[in-house]
Amino acid sequence: MNSPGEFGKVAVLLGGKSAEREISVMSGSGVLKALRSKGVDAHAFDPAERDLFDLKREGFARCFIALHGRGGEDGTLQGALEVLGVPYTGSGVLGSAIGMDKWRSKMIWLAGGLPTPRYRILSPGDDWQEVARDLGLPLIVKPVNEGSTLGLTKVTAVPQMRAAYELAANRYHDLALAEQCIEGPEYTASILQDAALPLIRIEAPQGNYDYQNKYFTDHTKYICPCGLDASKEEALNALALKAFKLTGCAGWGRIDLMLDAAGNPWLLEVNTSPGMTGHSLVPMAARAVGISYEDLCVKILEGSHVG
């Protein structure tokens, strides 16, 4: 592990302009406190309020990206930091861009022979009855380029389709997709320094792992060890790592997946800048192998890079 002084002056990028700004501030504040507790010269930096060129003007040696969603997790920020020559944490431009795009992630996984729920890209003129026939009910409607389950609706009847589409596509200014709903337990595979941490099983109230139940309630259960036998967990982690690398991701992140009634795995999405709040999953998985939140932040920072 690097000594704190070797990192130089560190910017913790937090806030931003995305719909996930509130969570990013929570994540970044936790990271900032953790890095400072380890003696790192860390400072908060909100790109919504500061010019990115200030990173060079003020002598920042590297960045810890604690931004979520558009403008921080989608490759645009990563590209700017590449131009500035400032090392940053997490995936590069390509992996970040693909990881943020659920549609392209799915296409790549399918091309690589990996399992992901069947889907359709939606448009306002679609025949909702036909979409429901194709994918079956219930089905999931969600924005292509948002995280934290923002804009996601579980549709159980055809009359709900238009409102679900309008929420995903209009409120979040995005393409929307409908996908087959997998009924079964949900897991998340955390990845650190290109190795998988123990799986976490997620049990949300009424099976609804939405924005509120992710960040602002204590009713969601996180089970680690996840309860699967060792060989099954190892296979799921291997699948998650393959999915992570196939989308061009690197360093650290998270893959969300589910098992159906027959025990078959289904990849849902990749997260290249996961939450680092008190309810977040990567810190939880790290604790299961004896890595404290503070040491986790340092390990992630150690992976900072350009190109």
| Residues with catalytic roles | 20, 148, 215, 254, 256, 269, 271, 275
Q: Give how far the C-alpha of residue 298 lies from the chain's centroid of Cα atoms, to the nearest Å.
A: 19
Q: What is the dihedral of CA 166, 146, 269, 127, to 10 degrees?
A: 10
Q: CA 27, 217, 272: angle at the middle one, nearest 5?
A: 35
Task: Report which of 192, 195, 189 is spatially closest to residue 228, judged by C-alpha positions.
Answer: 189
Helix crossing, 93-100 with 76-84: angle to 10°?
A: 170
Half-sphere exposure of 288 (CA within 13 A, CB side): 18
Q: What are phi and psi of 241, to 5 degrees?
A: -65, -40
